[in-house]
């Protein structure tokens, strides 16, 4: 028992001596000019290394970007569509960029003397919270991979995703960007893309709905519309075939609905619809066929 007390007392007596020795060594290092010279040389060496590494990775990024662009241009000359090649190029550039950023951060931390192994080991404490927070990110990446593999949409396609419609401007692993007709740029996480309506795949069909009075001579209307079709069809190569006169379909709200079907190439359906609709209305008016008009009283009358 006396021996244990003696050892404990000797250790307590040695601690102040050791702390005093450490303080003395620290003061000696600070007062020593060689210490500052070594510190300056170390900092300068690390700064130079970081600059060189940064320049090296910038060169690698520019080289990889140009290489991906060259492959994309080669794909455009092959059977791959231009939209598909742009999508592949964008995805490849994103993967290459994130890979370089990861390697760059690792090299910089190594130059600064940060123990990477200790950081990775210590990160296990926060792995659970990190995993919970990254669930959305992982879901975005998985869905993005399936969207690209299954070719659900490409850059330049006109699509409708949920309640958003427009032209696809960017397809990435995490988000997809769609620009609406009014210019709004929509950022959609890939995990929220459940149903994709692609309006740029294959031929499109659009319906022109003419509203007529129920007592209108249908045979005369048909003859007028056939004459318009004979004139405009040869002038529009985007038509897959001549317009089909579906004829009267229903009477709703006191008006007769006469429909015409246009089969067009994708992306031209709205242009041709407006063109044929304007020609139909002009021809019907020239034939003295009465068309219903919507009247609206815009006068603001007040009684005294």
pLDDT in tens, 127-161: 555 566 667 777 877 887 788 777 788 888 888 88
With a pLDDT cut of 70, the percent of the chain lying above it is: 72
Task: Name residue, tokens 């022109």.
Answer: 208
- In the chain, domain spans: 35-114, 133-198, 204-286
Helices (H), 78-206: 82-111, 116-122, 127-133, 135-149
User: What is the distance between the alpha carbons of residues 175 and 165, in angstroms, rounded to a whole number?
Assistant: 16
248-302 confidence digits (pLDDT tens)? 888 888 888 999 998 888 778 888 889 999 899 999 888 888 888 754 444 444 3
Picking from 87-91, 171-175, 186-190, which range would have the lowest pLDDT averaged per residue? 87-91
What pLDDT does 4 receive? 45
Q: DSSP assignment, residue 202?
A: S
Tell me: pLDDT of 7 over 70: no
186 pLDDT band (50/70/90 cuts)?
A: very high
For 7, 210, 230, 239, 277, the CA distances from 271, given in Å and listed in that order, are 97, 17, 18, 11, 10
What's the CATH code, domain 204-286?
3.30.70.100
Name the CA dihedral angle for 199, 271, 79, 86, rounded to a multiple of 10 degrees: -70
What's the CATH code, domain 133-198?
2.30.30.60
For residue 164, list its beta bridge partners: 161
CB-based burial of residue 174 (10 Å sphere; 0-12 exposed, 13-18 middle, 19+ buried)?
A: middle
Answer yes or no: are the C-beta atoms of 157 and 167 closer than 8 Å: yes
For 102, 104, 113, 116, 238, the CA distances from 108, given in Å and listed in that order, are 10, 6, 9, 11, 57
72 pLDDT band (50/70/90 cuts)?
A: low
């Amino acid at each position: 028992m006396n021996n244990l007390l003696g050892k404990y007392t000797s250790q307590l007596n040695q601690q102040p001596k050791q702390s005093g020795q450490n303080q003395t060594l620290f003061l000696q290092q600070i007062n020593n000019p060689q210490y500052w010279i070594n510190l300056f040389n170390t900092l300068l060496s690390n700064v130079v290394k970081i600059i060189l590494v940064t320049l090296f990775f910038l060169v690698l990024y520019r080289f990889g970007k140009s290489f991906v662009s060259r492959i994309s241009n080669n794909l455009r000359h092959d059977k791959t569509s231009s939209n598909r090649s742009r999508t592949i190029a964008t995805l490849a550039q994103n993967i290459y960029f994130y890979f370089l950023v990861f390697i760059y951060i690792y090299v910089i931390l190594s130059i600064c003397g940060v123990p990477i192994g200790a950081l990775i080991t210590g990160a296990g404490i926060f792995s659970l919270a990190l995993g919970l927070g990254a669930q959305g990110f992982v879901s975005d990446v998985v869905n993005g991979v399936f969207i690209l593999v299954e070719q659900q949409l490409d850059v330049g396609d006109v699509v409708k995703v949920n309640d958003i419609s427009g032209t696809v401007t960017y397809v990435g692993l995490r988000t997809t960007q769609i620009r609406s007709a009014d210019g709004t740029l929509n950022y959609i996480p890939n995990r929220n893309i459940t149903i994709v309506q692609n309006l740029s795949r294959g031929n499109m069909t659009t319906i022109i709905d003419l509203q007529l009075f129920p007592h209108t001579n249908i045979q005369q209307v048909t003859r007028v519309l056939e004459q318009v079709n004979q004139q405009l069809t040869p002038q529009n190569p985007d038509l897959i075939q001549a317009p089909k006169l579906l004829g009267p379909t229903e009477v709703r709200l006191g008006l007769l609905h006469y429909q015409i079907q246009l089969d067009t190439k994708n992306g031209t359906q709205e242009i041709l619809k407006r063109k044929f609709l304007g020609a139909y209305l002009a021809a019907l008016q020239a034939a003295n066929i009465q068309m219903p008009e919507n009247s609206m009283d815009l006068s603001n009358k007040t009684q005294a």
